[in-house]
Amino acid sequence: MGRLILILFLILLSGCQENQIVVTEKLSATRLLSSVDQQGFDRAEKPREFIFPQDHGPHPRFRNEWWYFTGNLEDSSGRRFGYQVTFFRFALKPPSEKAAASHWANNQIWMAHAAITDKDSKRHLTQEKLVRAGPGLAGSHAQPFSVWVEDWQVQQGKEGFPWHIRINSERFKLDLEVEPTVGIILQGDKGLSQKSAEPGNASYYYSYPRLNSRGQITINGQRYLVTGLSWFDREWGTSALSPEQTGWDWFSLQFNSGDNLMFYHLRNRQGTADPFSAGTWIDNTGNAKRLSLNEIEVAPSNWWRSPNGNNYPVEWTMKLKADNRTLRIKPILNEQEMDLSVRYWEGAVDIYEQGKQIGSGYLEMTGYE
């Protein structure tokens, strides 16, 4: 959602020895987001000046941050793929001025998620890495920009772009270059994305909403040369959701016209949209317009029950009130649940208007346990 820290589940880790992390049960992202200790960390309380490329790198004074790529790709025959690559950092305690006793005395936990949706074969492949940030195991640099968890990594090119994404997992490989066609978009209030009424219940949030992408996907030894579009989200902060908020539905939509839309639909305990739901419309020249809840309306139109028993609204109706437009959002595959340490649904979708496909994007849903 402008990615509300799935990594917060790490506060309930059952064990952590050196770089080995053990999780004994599935955990709820939204429940954890309502129960974190914030003392000693900086909080996102007011707009700030963003400085690049420095802000691509780490922000250790905040409890958590993440780098989030999603995209839709296809090969020369039209075979369709969706992909997700995410790096999360979470601090177990505030940074200390004292020197660490050893390289392993590190209070940073890193998690990475990766997934490929292969529409033709109706497969959704997922993988996860969890490490404690011992010497060289995981981290991020601003100049030159890089973020990595073991051998999963994103690195900038010699001139800044393209960025190179490399994922080598047991189930698939992804080797992709991405380069923006639209500049950085500061989400919310000049980059301050407020999630609930309490000051500091917010994140600093920016996006590259449209990145030309090219590279290859390998599944079961079969290599596919692919091109398409990606979306990059970058957030950091400390605070949790309000106890009255039970989950979110996050949409990143890329239209064939070159326009783009981000919208996060926060849900409250009454099952209705939380007033802090918000979004951004980005036109094909990069001009951005903030959207409030009274300008956009979303409602589920079809549901899918996962083998785990979770019931997800995988199809949606979206009304853009100012333009009197009604969009239909449909997944390329219902079975896109991320059945990892934190269970949620995240997958590739298509956009329809008056029965015609007009774009594609990604949808993330939490709080449906």
pLDDT tens-digit profile of 91-150?
888 876 554 545 555 678 899 999 999 999 999 999 999 988 777 899 999 999 999 999
pLDDT tens-digit profile of 10-45?
443 433 444 444 444 454 444 444 445 678 899 999
So what's the pLDDT on residue 190? 96
Taking Cα atoms as reference points, which of 318, 186, 324, 196 lies closest to residue 250? Answer: 318
pTM over 0.75, yes/no: yes
* Domains contained in the chain, CATH given: 6-365 (2.40.370.10)
DSSP state of 226: E
Q: What residues contact residue 260 under an 8 Å CB cut-off, 6+ apart?
A: 182, 209, 210, 231, 252, 253, 254, 281, 282
Cα separation of 130 and 20, whole Å? 8
Q: What residues contact residue 311 under an 8 Å CB cut-off, 6+ apart?
A: 303, 304, 305, 368
pLDDT tens-digit profile of 58-77?
999 999 999 999 999 999 99
Mean pLDDT within 264-292: 93
Determine the 3-state secondary structure of 56 from DSSP.
helix
pLDDT tens-digit profile of 186-229?
999 999 999 988 888 899 999 999 999 999 999 999 999 999 99
Taking Cα atoms as reference points, which of 365, 340, 363, 346 lies closest to residue 27? Answer: 340
CB 11 within 8 A of CB 32: yes
Cα separation of 88 and 233, whole Å? 12
So what's the pLDDT on residue 342? 87
Cα separation of 20 and 260, whole Å? 40
The terminus-to-terminus CA distance of the chain in angstroms comes to 17
Cα separation of 180 and 149, whole Å? 24
Determine the 3-state secondary structure of 54 from DSSP.
helix
Average pLDDT, whole number, for the chain? 88
Q: Is residue 359 scored above 70 in pLDDT?
A: yes
